[in-house]
Amino acid sequence: MTEGELAGETVALAEALIRVDTSNPPGRETAAAELIRDWLAARGIESELVGPDPDRLNLVSRIEGTGDAPSLMLMAHTDVVPAPTENWTVPPFDAVNRDGWLIGRGAVDMKNELAARVAAFAAFAASGVTPGGDLVLIAEADEERNVSDVGMSWLVRERPDLLCDFALNEGGGFLLELASGSTVVPISIGEKKVTSVLLRIRGASAHASVPDREKNAVRDAARAVDRLFAHETPVLVSESVRESLRAIGAAGSDEEMLAWAAGQHPVLEKMVPAMTRMSVTPTGLATREPANVVPPVVEIVCDCRALPGQDERDVRAHLEAALGNDIEWEMELLEPMEGGEESAVGTALYRACEDFLAERLPGAVLMPMVTAGFTDSHWVRQAGGTVAYGFAPVFATEVGEYLRSMHGADEKIRIDDLVTMAEFHLYAIKRMLAD
């Protein structure tokens, strides 16, 4: 397959995938898995659809190796977040290709990377080269919500035969031009822990016409929300964060490195604090009484992102420090804390990413980072000790546009980046399995 053919197939496949509405909820990712299965079959490549829910199946394909090299997994999820049409200038699932842009839900997260990985997988298969280790392609369901146990959490438990030594997934690859003059490209080597927290704020039930202002749970809930937003968790700088900061030129004490890095780019201004602090963010409020009743309980739902190594005790300590002792509250974790795994740098796959970057952007620096968002890399790191990186080159799309449109209206990416993604993945496959 020529470079031109690889580019054309990647773009066409990305367009086709975007036109399959896999909004989660409800998901219905089987339609996207079937599209990829048929696309691979037309190129003589076998695959299988697996999973516990017929409407939410995962696609798996494998090119078996000779066994004398590490194995490599290419992974990408098929579901997308819903796309309310407000503020969209095009229908979200039309996959509009216009003026060098691909616009549609999933163009950034992550049918772009899915198409690039599938196309690179097929291009390697067409080369006829037998890899030294297995090459496994997985297009998994239910990453965006991760509550139904039908995607990667199910796969690593029920199909451990698919686990590989290395994996490429989402989470990095965008371009940052720093104030220092350096060019930096983040690569995700780990993630924060994630859970949902339910706070129950208690007060006294009463008729709303004669409310007790001192024991009103709604008033206390308002205070609690305000305090949670105002509270700053103590900064914790891990060795992996120090490595990340030093990689981009930071020096001095932890405080000096953090301040310098945060001042280098608007993205780092937000990303650096997220790498060093727990966050508990209110995202919903609920009561269960009619309007004429002062409720005895108000529920606050919070998104929680904890640092690697932290646990439920740290979450409780965060809440105690934020809320004080004049509000009556209870805490419940709505789901187990997941994530918090990190992969080592300095591996063969990490060097392959560095070398590709050096070829395409001479002088650019790869920045290892622990990301605030959760990805399916966690499952393979936890289950198989897989070294998993989030990396897909995004060099043409301006980083602000790229991050703004993720989960937003008019989600879009430059066509040139789709092509570069496919070229990178084919490069990485050959470096890892065919050299």
Digit-coded pLDDT (tens) for 360-376 = 999 999 999 999 888 99
Asked whether 244 and 279 are in contact (CB, 8 A), the reply is no
Tokens (6 digits) for 256: 């000096």
Tally Cβ neighbours within 10 Å of residue 230.
8
Question: What is d(CA 89, CA 405) in angstroms, rounded to the nearest whole number?
Answer: 13
Instruction: For residue 190, give Cα distances in angstroms to 35, 61, 162, 164, 371.
Output: 31, 25, 21, 17, 6
Tokens (6 digits) for 200: 């129950």
Sign of CA dihedral 63, 67, 69, 71: positive
Q: How confident is the model at residue 44 (pLDDT cuts 50, 70, 90)?
A: very high
Specify the length of the chain in residues.
Answer: 435
Give the residue extent of every domain in the chain: 3-171+375-434, 193-234+277-338
Model confidence over 143-160: pLDDT tens digits? 998 889 999 999 999 999
DSSP 342: B
Question: What is d(CA 105, CA 83) in angstroms, rounded to the nearest whole number?
Answer: 7
Place of tokens 């570069």: 420
CA atoms within 13 A on the CB side of 7: 9
Q: Is the pLDDT of residue 206 over 70?
A: yes
Reduce the DSSP state of residue 147 to 3 states and report it.
coil
Backbone angles phi, psi at 428, to 5 degrees: -65, -40
Sequence-distant (6+) residues with CB within 8 A of 411 are: 83, 92, 103, 104, 105, 106, 107, 108, 109, 405
Asked whether 355 and 187 are in contact (CB, 8 A), the reply is no
CATH code for the part of the protein at 193-234+277-338: 3.30.70.360
Tally Cβ neighbours within 10 Å of residue 93.
16
Model confidence over 161-197: pLDDT tens digits? 999 999 999 999 999 999 999 999 999 999 999 999 9
Give CA 422 to chain center in angstroms.
Answer: 19
Reduce the DSSP state of residue 201 to 3 states and report it.
strand
Q: How confident is the model at residue 209 (pLDDT cuts 50, 70, 90)?
A: confident
pLDDT reported for residue 140: 98
Model confidence over 218-237: pLDDT tens digits? 999 999 999 999 998 899 99
Q: What percent of the chain has pLDDT over 70?
A: 99
Q: Distance from first CA to last CA of the chain, Å, rounded?
A: 18
Q: Is the pLDDT of residue 435 over 80?
A: no
Question: What is d(CA 421, CA 7) in angstroms, rounded to the nearest whole number?
Answer: 9
Reduce the DSSP state of residue 390 to 3 states and report it.
strand
Q: Is the pLDDT of residue 213 over 90?
A: no
Stated pTM of the model: 0.94
Reduce the DSSP state of residue 262 to 3 states and report it.
helix
CATH code for the part of the protein at 3-171+375-434: 3.40.630.10
Pairing of strands 166-169, 387-390: parallel
Model confidence over 313-362: pLDDT tens digits? 999 999 999 999 999 999 999 999 999 999 999 999 999 999 999 999 99
Pick from 134, 135, 137, 111: nearest CA to 47: 137
Q: How confident is the model at residue 212 (pLDDT cuts 50, 70, 90)?
A: low
Residue type, 396: A
Sequence-distant (6+) residues with CB within 8 A of 247 are: 365, 366, 367, 368
DSSP 129: P
Tally Cβ neighbours within 10 Å of residue 298.
25
Find the mean pLDDT for residues 258-272.
Answer: 96
Burial label for 223, CB within 10 Å (0-12, 13-18, 19+), is middle
Backbone angles phi, psi at 199, to 5 degrees: -105, 130
Q: Is the pLDDT of residue 40 over 70?
A: yes
Asked whether 196 and 300 are in contact (CB, 8 A), the reply is no
**What secondary structure does DSSP assign to 148-200, as a single string?**
SS-SHHHHHHH-GGG--SEEEESS--B-EE-TTS-EEEEEEEEE-EEEEEEEE
